[in-house]
Chain A
Amino acid sequence: MSEFAPPLGSSEPDPEVNRHPLIGRQRYLVSFLQFGAVLAFVLAIGGVLLPAPANEIASYAMVTTLIAVPIIRVLWLFLRWVRRGDRLFAMVAAGLLTVIVIGALAAII
């Protein structure tokens, strides 16, 4: 009998025990993206409806959210691949983050 099989006498299998290990493995990233989408939505509403200068602050915060969330996602993947020894793709992610930083620096200069 597999160690993941339900205990004898149980009427139905435990869904947590029988879950495939790949399902739900990125739930923290999913939650982060959901939070980012809701935050961008709330800030965009603020940018349209609030009086000045609060609308401008909310708008800048919304733009910052739209820029930051995908970049944080790449950073999160980079750290995950480093931790798991997936060196090739960790290097590719590091290369992409470097391109983003160089692009920002070039725009500032």
Chain B
Amino acid sequence: MTIPALLALALATATIGTLGGFGGAVLLVPTLVLLGVDPVLAAPLGLISVAAGSLSAAPKQLASGLVHHRLGITLELTATSAAVIAAWVSGAVSGTALQGVLAATAFVAGLAGFLRPASGYGPVAALAGEPSAEWPGSLDGAIATAEGVVPYRARNMGTGLVVMTFAGVVTGLSGVGAGFIKTPTMRELMYIPLKVAAATSTFSVAITSSTALLVFALQGRIDPLESSAVALGGLIGGVLGSAVQDALPPVILRRFLSVMLIVIATVLVVQL
């Protein structure tokens, strides 16, 4: 694939992926494979897209106080370990097997888009005036909403760590960020408010992807020029997607992206 075509594809997938709240890689990697790129070569490009997208979103999310670093780093212990092992062995896995993993990943991501938001906690009057923040020495925190300041606590850590291990395997093998696994897990299973879950997931995905990228780079599996095209498309697409996100109905966008991912998964399975 030529550099301008790759840049255009990365830009389009990052814009659409950001609009739907999934990130660009979950669309980019399956599309590259559909266009004939070997899954073994598509995975590092997906990770470049993930790393670029999460880096462009990081300053704003950190400044808003929505990132729970302690929770993200705790969950990353298992996710990053799994991603390192998966990235390490992915070079030895057949392209067909990786395509199967990718199809399953796209299908699960598509289904995740149809999940309902969990019912949240209520505001606490005693915390009025407090900003959104994590609380030192714990997995607790508070988020400032229009209704008031809402405290929260991470629950079901054991199950959460198991799911994050699976998310790490998906990232290391297929090159997608697995935010579509991490955010719903934190939201539905660990009772973390949606905005905190999304921001913490972006932080967490950045660590997993950079570590897996490090393994790929040391294995000599990164094409520098293609990486620049994907990163540029990912950075611009992430900013474009964020800019127009508020002007479009998020539920419809998310459902549209979900349907698109399920179609891509089906085509990938048919091609096997």
B59 touches A30 (CB 8 A): yes
The minimal Cβ–Cβ distance linking A78 to chain B, given in whole angstroms, is 9
| B-facing residues in A1-30 (Cβ within 8 Å) | 20, 22-23, 26-27, 29-30
Q: State in angstroms the CA–CA spacing of A62 and B129 once bound together.
A: 41
Which of A66, A86, A99 contacts B210 (CB under 8 A)?
Answer: A66
Total A-B residue contacts, Cβ distance less than 8 Å = 157
Q: Binary interface profile of B, 62-104, with partner A (CB < 8 Å = 1, else 0)?
A: 1101000110011011001100100110000000000000000
The minimal Cβ–Cβ distance linking B169 to chain A, given in whole angstroms, is 14
Range of interface residues on B (Cβ < 8 Å): 35 or more
CB nearest neighbor in A for B85: A103
A70 touches B206 (CB 8 A): yes
B213 touches A63 (CB 8 A): yes
The minimal Cβ–Cβ distance linking A108 to chain B, given in whole angstroms, is 5
B36 CB-CB contact with A under 8 Å: no
- What residues on A are CB-neighbors of B74 within 8 Å? 89, 92
The minimal Cβ–Cβ distance linking B152 to chain A, given in whole angstroms, is 16
A67 touches B217 (CB 8 A): yes
Q: State in angstroms the CA–CA spacing of A13 and B126 once bound together.
A: 23
B59 touches A70 (CB 8 A): no
B207 touches A74 (CB 8 A): yes
Given A63-B222, A66-B48, A74-B207, CB of A99 within 8 Å of CB of B80: yes
B59 touches A47 (CB 8 A): no
- What residues on A are CB-neighbors of B7 within 8 Å? 48
Q: State in angstroms the CA–CA spacing of A104 and B215 once bound together.
A: 6
B69 touches A77 (CB 8 A): yes
B164 CB-CB contact with A under 8 Å: no
Q: Binary interface profile of B, 192-227, with partner A (CB < 8 Å = 1, else 0)?
A: 000000000001001101110111011100101101
The 9 closest A-B CB pairs, nearest first, are A47-B228, A59-B224, A103-B84, A107-B218, A44-B232, A66-B51, A70-B206, A44-B231, A33-B59
